[in-house]
Structure 1
């Protein structure tokens, strides 16, 4: 977009661009999302930034009215395979807070100086500043949805000291932490990004923002059909269902609950965490599972231009391409269920969880386990589960490769390299590797199965994963989703 087209988006308060860019106003010293309801500033007073961190680094504070830190993420970071896109996905997962800029650079295969230079040149902020902006958002959520002491919030959000926390909050929000807590937006606020404070100890209520239409029924159907007993469940009736699952997080464990009913641009979520330091990571992983940073306008425009897909896109606007909260888990489940069918794969997965899953410290209803770690599966006997010798060998090979990091499926991995490594393992051919690439690595441009006769799937790029889900959703018998390649067969 040019700066003129960005300004037109601001003038029209176009929510399609929330998260794609931010604008700051020199006369007020604040920065906003494009859909901010405030009076549109004059063009000469407006500066555009690609990230909130860049606006903050230039001395602007966050608008208290539109809450620009609560926007959906930019779809660009999920679509791009270069170092900037990979870095943004890793920063979102909390790698800088846990491992520092050096750890981020090591995962990307670049020097820290190269990563700093590339991010600053393109985004106007380096990795430390981008992580700082995320910490500030986490702090605001904790201040406005919990009664935790402010000092506890400082460390839970990832700050090294209370002083650093106080200085950052004052700089970004122009309020002290106690002042920010006092001005919590009301539960009906479209721009708050927060739910009403929970009365249940240990529960963090969030509003997970998305842009455009959201096909909640279809994604809840998809997750319900694949939910593994012990780690996942979908309760309630269509339209009012709740998805619940366990989470293995860097510092502890958790349970996420997400409601099917949509608000005005958000899904209601509740997180139960053993360690508050995992809040930002847990929220980001749930966002990836529900594909909340997608751009349904861009997807619909590209796919709807094909006569073969146009009726499907019109029938199901806002269809998402579900990701995962745990890429290693998704890969194991992909191998476990290949050629077994969805129902049989689900049954096999439930047996695996019951036999080898790690018990939660505190079970919550039917949720009592975490999915087994790859290192544990690599050495597990895997007998008595109804698996063939060929499938056991494939699972062990995959688990060993994941544990040794010969196959890396984290948020910032090189997708082409990961796919090549997967295809080199027994029992994993092109279809299975592409399925893992689509869901575990969040690639929006993977086509699974045969396209309709007479179509050219190349014109669907870069949104072929969404075309895949439209074709699957239009096939009630599920034949479009079945594994088409007998050479990749793993007998159940």
Structure 2
């Protein structure tokens, strides 16, 4: 589908309540002061009263409140930001990972290699909001999730969401949702997954939204095949499996469970406007919620645009039957890029040895989950020889960077400079750790017509048994 950006095209998407555009843009109604996602079920407003925004933050910055019916703050992020390799795309990924909350705008700019003023100017020019406003919108969404799904005290939620003060938290919630935090909690759904049934000990229940069809089976197949005992497990029969793993996070640790959700994909392009994967997070520090969610979204590739991917790949005679068989197939990423790089090099069996020999044991093991994957610095010091030692040393001293804001070409060149790291492993790291949608491994005949979605094409071949990553 050609997702045009002119306002007439956008208004037609609003009139038809086209969920394919959710997260691609937002619209606001001047007569009501409310902003929505394109698929909002409310009566379509008159064209003269509608304004369009590239981000929820831009709509909020113009004084509009989030719609209570369609919850525009909860839609999947625009796939564009994960695909783009320029400074704006890299900045959006870093902000989503919580960098502004932890390091401020100065820290964001330093990671990007630009001045804070340059970053502010570029984001504002293209997105209608600077880094502070984008981070504020994200904090508001995190706060709403915590208010409506947990029993955490309101004061604790304020700081867990990244706000500097309770007053700032209260003012933002009123501005974004036209409600006080207490009113938001009282308005939480009382059915389905349960209103406020979650407690700190029970974890935080989440719905990880995606657009379009989501072919969960091959993703869980891959995760089950790769699972490293001690840090990961996949349980249950195909179709209703649960993936669990440990997470190392900026403020603490976490354990996450994500459900396969049967029936998450339906046949036929456009037949499925979107959905979600159910998840539950157990965090030692709730300030890690935003970062943990974003890492899960990258692992499960939940911000992808399956319509654009499938349309391009289905035009190829070789791939057409594979796309028809698996609409909405994703390109899985990783919850920990540095861990993925080591595992891409060593394989699962050796990774298990490293976990049990050098991984940090959890204070409170949870079933078979007992450890965190060892940090690069630990591995570099413990086993400094060979390619593994060279790779972990490069990761530890940041000669190789794999964070969400890194320039992918720079990362590729740095990986190629690691002694003994072969081209096939570099390609796997680019696909999984860097989320690069357009990678062609060496030795595989991949036509240019598959661009810019060659990584997705490889996953179709892998799911069909026509290609093995290792």
Q: TM range, normalised to the smaller chain?
A: over 0.9
Aligned counterpart, 1:425: 418
Provide the secondary structure at the position in 2 that maps to 1:472.
Answer: helix
Provide the secondary structure at the position in 1 that maps to 2:349.
Answer: helix
Aligned counterpart, 1:460: 450
Aligned counterpart, 2:392: 399
Partner residue of 1:300 out of 297, 305, 310: 310
Unaligned ranges ≥5, structure 1: 189-193, 337-344, 383-391, 484-492
Provide the secondary structure at the position in 2 that maps to 1:261.
Answer: coil
Q: Does 1:14 align with 2:18?
A: yes
Aligned counterpart, 1:339: none
Partner residue of 1:474 out of 449, 464, 469: 464
**CA distance, structure 1, for counterparts of residue 188 and residue 70 of structure 2:** 13
Partner residue of 1:441 out of 428, 434, 437: 434
Larger displacement relative to structure 2 (350-359 or 260-269): 260-269
Q: Does 1:286 align with 2:328?
A: no
**CA distance, structure 1, for counterparts of residue 182 and residue 324 of structure 2:** 47
Partner residue of 1:362 out of 361, 364, 368: 364
The answer to whether the 8 Å contact 2:383/2:389 transfers is: no
**CA distance, structure 1, for counterparts of residue 294 and residue 191 of structure 2:** 22
Q: Does 1:220 align with 2:220?
A: yes
- Could you tell me the TM-score, scaled by structure 2's length? 0.95
Q: What CA deviation, in whole Å up to 9, does each residue of 1:227-267 have, x standing for no partner?
A: 00000000011111100000000000000100001566000
Q: What CA deviation, in whole Å up to 9, does each residue of 1:346-389 have, x standing for no partner?
A: 2211111011111111110000000000000001048xxxxxxx
Distance 1:195 1:114, change over 3 A: farther
- Could you tell me the TM-score, scaled by structure 1's length? 0.90
How far is the alpha carbon of 1:459 from its aligned partner? 1.3
The answer to whether the 8 Å contact 1:198/1:204 transfers is: no
Unaligned ranges ≥5, structure 2: 265-273
Q: What CA deviation, in whole Å up to 9, does each residue of 1:321-344 have, x standing for no partner?
A: 0000110000011111xxxxxxxx
Q: Does 1:205 align with 2:192?
A: no
Q: CA RMSD in A?
A: 1.4
How far is the alpha carbon of 1:474 from its aligned partner? 1.1
The answer to whether the 8 Å contact 1:195/1:207 transfers is: no
Aligned pairs for 1:276-355 (under 5 A) are 276-336=286-346, 345-355=347-357
**CA distance, structure 1, for counterparts of residue 316 and residue 383 of structure 2:** 49
Provide the secondary structure at the position in 2 that maps to 1:163.
Answer: helix
Aligned counterpart, 2:247: 247
The answer to whether the 8 Å contact 1:256/1:270 transfers is: yes
Q: What CA deviation, in whole Å up to 9, does each residue of 1:25-83 have, x standing for no partner?
A: 00100000011000010111110000000000000000001000000011100100000
The answer to whether the 8 Å contact 1:195/1:206 transfers is: no
The answer to whether the 8 Å contact 2:151/2:200 transfers is: no
Number of residue equivalences: 455
Aligned counterpart, 1:56: 60
